[in-house]
């Protein structure tokens, strides 16, 4: 069964600190991997999209890495801010030819002052 | 603001009833996707339409149906509602049929009593 697993489930860090969120997937064949940020009760917002040929992609203080061989991805957040408090969702596009996406259950990140 | 609009924002109804959720995609986007997010659950893909035609189906129940109209707005119809249908329902849109970034709407929170 195609799955996307994220860790940790939740994380609390001090404002200004860095953190790394993990995503492991078993979906195959793989097309692309996306990281979304979802504030409570709101729609997800895309942070990065990476194809299998990309190892790293940055969006401001967010840097995503991808290892297609080990089927692992990480999202690194630098110099965290209070507004980074949200759920971060890893999403994998399952195969070519359609747009079915498999979502992880997310990491709930809380930044404390 | 993603440019995707959803109405209503909240909906409270009773078991056995039928409701219709509405979505207007971003200007120029031809694909519309529907997702369900239950409490503490990951987003579940329901169905995708592209330029009026159904393109991909996920774990959508037979009691649920959707359509995309010539003006590209979409409606998700939920019938014979059960308590377990209480969830956030998100609509997303993208420019093409697949491979592109999806932009999510603010969601409709459905509560079935």
Reported as a single tens digit per residue, the pLDDT across A51-86 is 888 999 999 999 999 998 899 999 999 999 999 999
Across the range B15-40, mean pLDDT stands at 94
Which of A53 and A112 is assigned the larger pLDDT? Answer: A112
- Would you state the pLDDT for residue A43? 92
Asked if pLDDT for residue B44 goes beyond 70, the answer is yes
Which of A110 and A32 is assigned the larger pLDDT? Answer: A110
Q: What does the alpha-carbon distance between residue A103 and residue B63 come to, in Å, rounded to a whole number?
A: 23
Three-class secondary structure of residue B83 per DSSP: helix
Answer whether B48 sits within 8 Å of A99, measured CB to CB: yes
What sign results for the dihedral spanned by CA atoms B24, B7, A100, A88? positive
- The CA–CA distances, whole Å, from A12 to A37, A44, A105, A109, A112 equal 16, 20, 17, 6, 7
Three-class secondary structure of residue A80 per DSSP: coil
72-101 of B, contacting A, C-beta below 8 A: 88, 90, 92, 94, 97-99, 101
User: DSSP class of residue A41?
Assistant: T
The burial of A57, by beta-carbon neighbours within 10 Å (0-12 exposed, 13-18 middle, 19 or more buried), is given as middle
Across the range B63-92, mean pLDDT stands at 96
Answer whether B90 sits within 8 Å of A103, measured CB to CB: no
- Would you state the pLDDT for residue A2? 62
Give the residue on B whose Cα is nearest the Cα of A92: B99
> C-alpha dihedral over A5, B82, B80, A98, to 10 degrees?
0
Q: Kindly state the tokens that stand for B97.
A: 């049929």
Across the range B7-26, mean pLDDT stands at 97
Q: Mutate which of B102, B105, B106, B110 to test chain A, going by most A C-beta atoms within 10 A?
A: B102
Query: CB contacts < 8 Å between A and B, how many?
Result: 59
What percentage of chain B reaches a pLDDT higher than 90?
81
Q: What does the alpha-carbon distance between residue B51 and residue B49 come to, in Å, rounded to a whole number?
A: 7
> C-alpha dihedral over B11, A86, A65, A70, to 10 degrees?
-70
- Mean of the per-residue pLDDT values for chain B? 93
- Would you state the pLDDT for residue A100? 74
For the ranges B22-26, B39-43, B70-74, B107-111, which has the lowest average pLDDT? B39-43
> Please, which pLDDT band fits residue A1 given cuts at 50, 70 and 90?
low
For the ranges B70-74, B93-97, B107-111, which has the lowest average pLDDT? B93-97
Asked if pLDDT for residue A33 goes beyond 70, the answer is yes
Answer whether B109 sits within 8 Å of A41, measured CB to CB: yes
R_g over Cα of chain A: 14
- The backbone torsions φ and ψ at residue B110, rounded to the nearest 5 degrees and listed phi first, read -105, 125
């Amino acid at each position: 069964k195609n799955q996307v697993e994220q860790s940790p489930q939740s994380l609390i860090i001090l404002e200004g600190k860095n953190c790394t969120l993990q995503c492991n997937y078993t979906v195959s064949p793989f097309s692309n991997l996306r990281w979304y940020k979802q504030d409570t009760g709101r729609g997800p917002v895309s942070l990065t999209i990476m194809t299998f040929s990309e190892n790293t992609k940055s969006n401001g203080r967010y840097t995503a890495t991808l290892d297609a061989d080990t089927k692992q991805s990480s999202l690194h957040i630098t110099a965290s801010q209070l507004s980074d408090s949200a759920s971060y969702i890893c999403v994998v596009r399952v195969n070519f030819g359609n747009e079915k996406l498999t979502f992880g259950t997310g990491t709930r990140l809380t930044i404390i002052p | 603001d993603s440019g995707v609009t959803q109405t209503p924002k909240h909906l409270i109804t009773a078991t056995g009833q039928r409701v219709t959720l509405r979505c207007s995609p971003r200007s120029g986007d031809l694909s519309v996707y529907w997702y369900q997010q239950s409490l503490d659950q990951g987003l579940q893909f329901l169905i995708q339409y592209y330029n009026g035609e159904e393109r991909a189906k996920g774990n959508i129940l037979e009691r649920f149906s959707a359509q995309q109209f010539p003006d590209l707005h979409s409606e998700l119809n939920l019938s014979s509602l059960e308590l377990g249908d209480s969830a956030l329902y998100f609509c997303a849109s993208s420019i093409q049929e697949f491979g592109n970034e999806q932009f999510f709407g603010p969601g409709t929170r459905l509560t079935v009593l």
